[in-house]
Amino acid sequence: MKRREHGVNLDDGVSLATPDELRLLFVDCQPKARADLQGWFATDDPAPILFGGQIGSGKTTLLNEIASRCPDVACIRICFDTDPIEPTDAGFTMLLMGQVLQACLRAKIDPDGSGIVLSDFPSIAADSWSAFVDIIATYPSNLKTVRRLREACSVIAEASSLMRNACGVLLDKLASKTGRGPFIIAEGIDKFDPDTSDYFSLRDTLVFLAHRKTLFEVNAVHLFSEKDFRPGIKKLFIGGIKQDVLYKMFQKRLGAYAPLYRKAFPLLSEYSGGNARQALRLLNAYYFQRTRYRKDHTAALALACHQVSGDLLNVPFGKFPVEVFTVVKKDGYIEGSLFSERGTARGANEAIYRNWLFLQDEPALDAPTKWPAAINPLIDQAITWSTPTPLTPEETAVKAWAREHGVSPAGLNIPVNEDGKPAWNDFWREIDASTTSEEDALSIVKLLEQIGAGLFGIERQDRIIVSYRERKNLEAVRDFLVGKANTYAFFPCEEITLQGGEGHEPVTELLVRIADRDPNRIYSVELTGSWTDSQLRDMEHRRDAFDNLQMLWWIQQDALKKYLRFWPQLRQFFRIYRLEEELWRGITVEEIQADIELISDIAEEKDPEGVRRLRSVLTFLQEKGREP
């Protein structure tokens, strides 16, 4: 993403990737893990490694930073989340094959004799290895090629084990030619919930890779399932980030303006629970409340917590692990065995996978089974504990402000029972019943304020979900937002409607439509129809395909409630807003006319997109004005 050389660089916690981003914003949050990873890259020891941390802990950024320092290392990066043509055993195997073949061709190794034969894949119709690799190693930009690849997948499905063996032969050839075994980075395993069928489909490929020098990017929960990879596999865990390091991160993100917001650093870092993305999202939300609405420090903190927990956490999942929560609160650690014992495994894994609990560090040597852990502070804040942790005056003020203004500082309200203990079941029912409260619904003017920094910005792209009760005139809303954006810079808009349900391929269609990845384009995506579980899961895995794109997703609110259960990863990159019924409040015909005039004056082309969009809004408003 393009960043400001001077000043403020906020976002919703996307990973840093480009040399400029890393130079400007990277903070060494995990020096020990970084040194261990660098050591792993530096040695010829072929042992694989599981590199794990919770969602938003900074794994991908750290990997990108280390990879940027080792440009000469022969590295095969395979993105199992974003790049497979389908989330099946054959899809993952084909992805592996494509990347291995590509590395071989780069090293001028002839793949003939490996066991893969071009004529096995008539649908690809390639007359050379390089043409074959061109087609299978990058995500296609049209549906015709997708179908050809799917046909190829059906060939692989018959013999995926043989195909993986052929990859092994090619990797051996590569090692003997270069004199050093290739490094494989298996990215995006962390996006797979271990309880899903997609993860099950991936397992044979993981086991194959675990016999090579492979780094697996996994979620913390995968660290407790080494059997999915290789017994005794080395593990590297990254836990909570220390307070002073988070301060450095805030400082970098705010640039020269940091002193204006320094007062908030202690509580923002505390409420982040040491999680990088949660910290950045809190900072973003706090900054927004201070600058746009001039809320005072206390109010801005309470509202920031409310927004962030609503976006990241406010959705029920599987079995709520009451006992695990109670024990973690009391003891400050979680027994590693809880992740594999029958009665507790599902709840404990889900709580970690969805960041309701944070694992803070690896167990100490004298207590090797006890993982230091804490309840996510945004949830902990909402609980009235019978023996409360003493609060600072500032924390007390934030809680008091939230109470007085009918806002839970956590965006969640956890009731207490007669004994003064959290009534977990009531709480669970409460969040199951609603996603956001009526008070959180916005008019278009308010929505525009909330999303303006990304929508109008060249240096920032955000992903926004707009939910609505009734569809009515969503076209006019979209045209208004796109038209307004065009008064700040020229932003074309790509309109995409994705029909879910049996017989449709909405995720594939989306990936094809965004293949050009234009950072200046607004991708307006409407989700319609009844999406199947597998389509929703597939969308969840593709999260990283959407980073650095400006996206507006439109989803009916009841449908969204269902979808969010499938999207603990995807929602990390989105902010969620709901349109109120009286959504056109505050918009005048005169304002639209002035914007049309402005865009017409500065546009170099005839009939620019911004003008067309706003003209249709004008017509809509005029017709609306004539309604009785």
Binding site for other proteins (CB under 8 A): 4-8, 10, 255-260, 291-292, 449, 452-453, 456-460, 487-490, 594, 597-598, 601-602, 604
Please state the closest distance from residue 457 (CB atom) to other proteins, in A.
4
Q: Which one, 14 or 570, has the nearer CB to other proteins? A: 14
Distance CA(571)–CA(271), nearest Å, equals 19
CB of 492 to other proteins, least distance (A): 11
Nearest approach, Cβ of residue 593 and other proteins (Å) = 11
- Residue identified by tokens 């004199």 is 179
Least distance to other proteins, CB of residue 10, Å: 7
Identity of the residue, 589 or 594, whose beta carbon is nearer to other proteins in the bound complex: 594
CB of 8 to other proteins, least distance (A): 6
Give least dist CB 149 to other proteins, A: 36
**Residue whose CB is less far from other proteins, 149 or 264:** 264
Nearer to other proteins, 313 or 592 (CB): 592
Q: What is the DSSP letter of 54?
A: -
Distance CA 616, CA 545 (A): 32
Q: Which residues pair with 50 in a beta bridge?
A: 216, 235
CA 102 to chain centre: 28
Q: Which helix (H) or strand (E) holds 30?
A: none
Residue (of 265, 352, 351, 272) closest to 305 by Cα position: 272
Q: Which two tokens stand for residue 86?
A: 């389908």
Strand ranges, E, within 80-157? none
* Burial of residue 418, with CB atoms counted within 10 A of its CB: 0-12 exposed, 13-18 middle, 19 or more buried: exposed
How large is the C-alpha radius of gyration of the chain?
Answer: 25
Smallest gap, in angstroms, from Cβ of residue 595 to other proteins? 8
Q: Which is nearer to other proteins, 195 or 459 (CB)?
A: 459
Task: Find the shortest distance in angstroms from Cβ 289 to other proteins.
Answer: 12
Burial level of 513, CB count in 10 A (0-12/13-18/19+)? middle
Shortest Å distance, C-beta 570 to other proteins: 24
* Nearest to other proteins of 256, 433 (CB atom): 256
Q: Give how far Cα 96 sits from Cα of 101, 165, 617, Å.
A: 9, 11, 48
Q: Which is nearer to other proteins, 41 or 456 (CB)?
A: 456
Q: Which is nearer to other proteins, 5 or 110 (CB)?
A: 5
Minimum Å gap between C-beta 460 and other proteins is: 6
Closest CA to 99 of 223, 227, 214: 214
Residue (265 or 371) nearer to other proteins, CB: 265
- In the bound state with other proteins, the residue whose beta carbon lies nearer, of 296 and 470, is 296
Nearer to other proteins, 67 or 598 (CB): 598
Tokens of 522: 């607004």
How far apart are alpha carbons 596 and 615 in whole angstroms?
A: 7
Greatest alpha-carbon span in the chain: 80
Q: 342 or 606, CB closer to other proteins? A: 606
Secondary structure element (H or E) that encloses residue 503, with its range? none
Minimum distance between the CB of residue 518 and other proteins, rounded to whole angstroms?
13
> Quick one: 131 or 594, whose CB is closer to other proteins?
594
In the complex, minimum distance from the CB of residue 252 to other proteins, in angstroms, rounded to a whole number: 11
Taking the least distance from each CB to other proteins, the nearer of 8 and 49 is 8
Q: How far apart are CA 314 and CA 432, in angstroms?
A: 9
Q: Which is nearer to other proteins, 180 or 263 (CB)?
A: 263
Separation CA 275–CA 55 (nearest Å): 8
Phi first, then psi, for residue 385 (nearest 5°) are: -75, 145
Least Cβ distance, residue 254 to other proteins (angstroms) = 9
- CA-based torsion, 76, 79, 83, 85: positive or negative: positive
Q: Which residues contact 117 (CB under 8 A, 6 or more apart)?
A: none
Element (H, E) at 476: helix 474-485
CB of 24 to other proteins, least distance (A): 12
Q: Spell 545-584 as b/e; 16+ CB within 10 A means b.
A: bbbbbbbbbbbbbebbbebbebbbbbbbbbbbbbbbeebb
DSSP for 295-334, written as a single string: --HHHHHHHHHHHHHHHHT-S--SS--HHHHHHHHHHSEE
Starting at the edge strand found earlier in the chain, the sheet holding 522-529 runs 441-442, 574-579, 463-468, 550-556, 522-529, 493-500
Instruction: Of 518, 31, 436, give the one whose Cα is nearest residue 238.
Output: 31
d(CA 14, CA 460): 11
Least distance to other proteins from the beta carbon of 253, Å?
11
> Number of C-alpha atoms within 13 angstroms, CB side, residue 189?
33
- Strand, coil or helix: what is 26? coil
